[in-house]
Structure 1
Amino acid sequence: MGGSLENVGSAEMCSNGGGCMDTGQHLMYPKGVSMVALPLGNGHVENWADSGIADNSQHTDDTSTDIDTDDKTQCNRVKNGARMVVHSKVQIKDKAEDQKTLRRLAQNREAARKSRLRKKAYVQQLENSRVKLVQLEQELQRARQQGIFIANQGDQGHLTVGNGALAFDIDYAHWADEHQRMLNDLRTAVNSQMSDNDLHLLVDGVMAHYNELFRFKSIGAKADVFHILNGMWRTPVEKWFMWLGGFRSSELLKIIKNHLEPLTEQQLMGICNLQQSSQQAEDALTQGMEALQQSLVETLSSTSLGPTGGANVADYMGQMAIAMGKLSDLESFLHQADLLKQQTLQQLQRILTTRQTARALLVRNDYISRLRALSSLWLARPRE
């Protein structure tokens, strides 16, 4: 029955269509798919379902191709954007480093400029200090030549009336210039390997010149003992190391000993004993000075002090007279200290050979010259 109906349907389609092409095959279609066959002008029948499927497949492929192209374009844009961001960050980093380098270079240039200015100011201050010293010496020399200070007789030939301290400063300035000239000659002689006999003459000349300093220091102490005692004629750094108008012999011996190697055992023992005895004498004089100072404090404070002090004129004058008598002992302490320094130099000359003594005198002079140079540098230092 089913087969007859199928044939009837086929016959109807053939009769209505005006002709039918029998392929001799039975077509099988998927379930749910209806196929409609339409005649074409050329007599062929086109299957629309197949055509639709083919068209849909072609359309899908074209769409897929377009999507792939868009995706690639978008990916390329993302990649290019990422590269641009990285490149921008590198540029920013390089720019920051360049700015940091320029800033550091600018700071270095500014620091160098300030350093040059400080150095220039420092050199200028040194030059100004030197000029002032020369001018002061010239003024003192002119004052002396014009007869402002009248020379005394006898041992006070170097002391002038009116201002003994200034007169001593003038004499000391001339002594220092001559002393430096003699030490330069001694240095040349030591370096040239001069014979001991000739070198001995130069050494004796320097020692005699030291004796001259002690002589007019004693004269200056009679005019102004505090000026000589406190070393007002020395530079500030020299005054800081001074003791009773000069340098401690024990300290100078320690410095000299360290620069005279090699020394024989007997020489080394002799210098050590001289250093020890000098230090003991220095300690004794220091204790005497401290006792004198304490005695003056007690004398000046023995009567009433302050707004309620009721001491009469007679008591006050008596108190001042006692203090003046004690204060005059300062000159004696100064003389004993200079005598100790003078004797220490003489003892050192006996311990050492002529050439060693010459070297010792040069070491002593170089040490004091460095103290003087340090003082000049300190006074001329830049102050910001």
Structure 2
Amino acid sequence: MADAGERTDTSTDIDADERNHRLERGQTAVVAASDSSDRSKDKTGDQKTLRRLAQNREAARKSRLRKKAYVQQLESSRLKLTQLEQELQRARQQGIFISSTGDQSHTISANGAKSFDIEYGRWLEEHNRQVNELRAAVNAHASDTDLRTIVDGITTQFDEIFKIKGVAAKADVFHILSGMWKTPAERCFMWLGGFRPSEILKLLSNQLEPLTEQQVMGLCDLQQSSQQAEDALSQGMEALQQSLAETLAGSLGPSGSSGNVANYMGQMAMAMGKLGTLEKFLRQADNLRQQTLQQMHQRLTTRQSARAVLTIHDYFSRLRALSSLWLARPRE
């Protein structure tokens, strides 16, 4: 019995020790698992931080590249502008563009389109200045003599633009006829490279009252004659276009390709000759505009002529303003 009791006590001690060892191992495992979880979380957080830092560095790099490209673009634009200014200065020194003094109608070179656009801009700036001077004189109730001097100066300036257009048409008649030197809204109402004289007279009919009966009859006759001349020129232009189309079509073979070389060259030579008529139509249209303005002033008093000039100017100014509003409209 004593031996059995000793064995029982020994067994009990062994079981207790075993439980203690198991408990210690369990606690160690829990601690190790907890440490592993913490390290995993720390590792995941570090990866997110590194990824975010990498993204920030990439965004900063792209931003620096965009800024560098923008600066380079500005520098390139500045160099181009400087180059254009130098070329313009050399061109002026060589007499390519119309000078501010002398006979302007003989100084445009073969570079007609660009030269004309620049000269038209200068002409328009001077025209605006003279019209503002006239407006101030009208508002200040200046004398008829002073008003007549200003109106005559504006009329003379219109004569100058017709001369400049004639010279430019010799270099590039298509540019003048297309009206690319005008704003889009102005081009919408263009006729043979300019305004319709009859439309201008219609515009003025309700703006110059009171008119005498003789003035009304004179303006009506002028409007009718202008309309008839416009119709004749328009019909001539249509006939030219039709003839030109038939000439070009005649040089095509049955399959639509060019026929024999001799026939092709002959037809193209005929077409070139007909294109030369465009300059004639443009010159006749400008002559009609010029004569209509002159005859209009002859039928009006000095103050009526001044109001007519202001009305015409305001009409075309509104067309230019309309073009600016249209180009700046919001687009979806």
Q: Do the two structures share a fold, i.e. TM-score over 0.5?
A: yes
* Deviations 1:344-367 (CA, angstroms, capped at 9, x unpaired): 000001100011001001000000
1:213 corresponds to which residue? 161
1:39 corresponds to which residue? none
Distance 2:246 2:230 in 1: 24
Distance 1:160 1:221 in 2: 11
State which of 300, 311, 315 in structure 2 corresponds to 1:367. Answer: 315
Further displaced range: 328-337 or 262-271:
262-271
User: Cα–Cα, structure 1 residues 150 and 227, in superposed 2: closer, same or farther, change >3 Å?
Assistant: farther
Distance 1:327 1:344 in 2: 27
- Cα RMSD after superposing both structures: 2.2
1:298 corresponds to which residue? 246
Distance 2:81 2:228 in 1: 39
Once the two structures are TM-superposed, the CA of residue 302 in structure 1 deviates from its matched residue by 1.4
Distance 1:217 1:328 in 2: 16
Distance 2:188 2:93 in 1: 30
Q: Do the aligned residues in 2 keep the contact of 1:158 with 1:168 (CA within 8 Å)?
A: no
1:176 corresponds to which residue? 124
State which of 173, 179, 193 in structure 2 corresponds to 1:245. Answer: 193
1:204 aligns with 2:148: no
Q: Do the aligned residues in 2 keep the contact of 1:155 with 1:219 (CA within 8 Å)?
A: no
Distance 1:307 1:286 in 2: 34
* Deviations 1:134-182 (CA, angstroms, capped at 9, x unpaired): xx99987654213288436976544134x21000000000000000000
Further displaced range: 321-330 or 311-320:
311-320
1:84 corresponds to which residue? none
Distance 2:134 2:85 in 1: 28
1:228 aligns with 2:176: yes
Distance 1:228 1:350 in 2: 29
Q: Do the aligned residues in 2 keep the contact of 1:249 with 1:341 (CA within 8 Å)?
A: yes
SS in structure 1 at match of 2:156: helix
Q: Do the aligned residues in 2 keep the contact of 1:256 with 1:360 (CA within 8 Å)?
A: yes
Q: Do the aligned residues in 2 keep the contact of 1:182 with 1:206 (CA within 8 Å)?
A: yes
The percentage of aligned residue pairs carrying the same residue is 60
1:348 corresponds to which residue? 296
* TM-score calculated relative to the size of structure 1: 0.61
User: Cα–Cα, structure 1 residues 251 and 380, in superposed 2: closer, same or farther, change >3 Å?
Assistant: same
State which of 264, 274, 282 in structure 1 corresponds to 2:212. Answer: 264
Distance 2:202 2:140 in 1: 27
Q: Do the aligned residues in 1 keep the contact of 2:184 with 2:323 (CA within 8 Å)?
A: yes
Unaligned 5+ runs, structure 1: 1-135
State which of 109, 116, 129 in structure 2 corresponds to 1:160. Answer: 109
User: Cα–Cα, structure 1 residues 189 and 365, in superposed 2: closer, same or farther, change >3 Å?
Assistant: same
* TM-score calculated relative to the size of structure 2: 0.71
Q: Do the aligned residues in 2 keep the contact of 1:237 with 1:374 (CA within 8 Å)?
A: yes
Distance 2:84 2:306 in 1: 33
AA at the equivalent of 1:147: A
